[in-house]
Amino acid sequence: MRSATRPASLFLLATLIFACEPAATAPPAASVAIATAAAPTAAPQTAAPTLPPTPTPLPTPAESVADFWTRKLQAEGRGDWGPTWDALHPAQQTLMTRDRYITCSNANKLTGAVVMKILGTREEMFGPAEVGVQPPALTTAVTINMSIAGEPAETFTVHTWNIAGRWRWALDQASYEAFKKGACPD
């Protein structure tokens, strides 16, 4: 029995040694083809999950909203309408050119000293379709008490949007409708 197992063990050992030796007869191209075929294939790409964008905080305007309205109303009191159009909400700037806005505004030129007081501000959602600003967005509502040339004071509230770090205002409904029709507001 010993003699029968010894040749089998030698045969197994010879087979292992032979199998570990490099094949001298295999052409290089065949080994490349085998290596390529044996390489793992890339997994199919899957789409990344869609996540809602992270809201980017708006840059803070350089001036306070009260300073913005004070500057705007004082410019209007001097008949300086260009900067007023520049600060108009972009959705409303599409209604008329800057020159048209200035021409129409000069027809309603304020005369006399403007006396005003900012009574308060608050954050609120605003953007009604009747003034062409949609959808409602966060605004700063400013309550102003103003009189022109000694006339009785009026108190009113205006809305102001922070758009890309600049304060923007919107026309009232009557002015918006007039410009929309191609006319000047009364």
Q: Each residue of 61-119: pLDDT tens digit?
A: 999 999 999 899 888 888 899 999 999 999 899 999 999 999 999 887 667 777 889 99
Stretch 25-48: mean pLDDT: 47
Range of weakest confidence among 34-38, 110-114, 162-166, 171-175: 34-38
Residue type, 81: W
Domain count, the chain: 1
Task: Give the phi and the psi of residue 159 in degrees, each rounded to 5.
Answer: -110, 145
More confident residue, 17 or 140: 140
Q: For residue 10, tell me if it sits in a domain.
A: no
Q: For residue 34, tell me if it sits in a domain.
A: no
Amino acid 26: pLDDT? 42
Please give the Cα distance from 74 to 40 (Å, whole number). Answer: 74
pLDDT at 32 over 80: no
Amino acid 168: pLDDT? 94
Q: For residue 48, tell me if it sits in a domain.
A: no
Domain, as residue range, for 97: 65-180
Q: For residue 60, tell me if it sits in a domain.
A: no
Residue 117's CATH number: 3.10.450
Stretch 124-139: mean pLDDT: 79
What pLDDT band is residue 24 in, cutting at 50, 70 and 90? very low
Per DSSP, helices labelled H in 45-183 are 65-77, 82-86, 90-93, 98-107, 173-180
Amino acid 142: pLDDT? 92
Residue whose token pair is 């030129």? 109
Q: For residue 37, tell me if it sits in a domain.
A: no
Per DSSP, helices labelled H in the chain are 2-20, 28-38, 65-77, 82-86, 90-93, 98-107, 173-180
Averaged pLDDT score across all residues of the chain: 75
Q: For residue 54, tell me if it sits in a domain.
A: no
Q: For residue 59, tell me if it sits in a domain.
A: no
Q: Which of 45-49, 114-118, 131-135 shows the highest mean pLDDT?
A: 114-118
Amino acid 128: pLDDT? 75
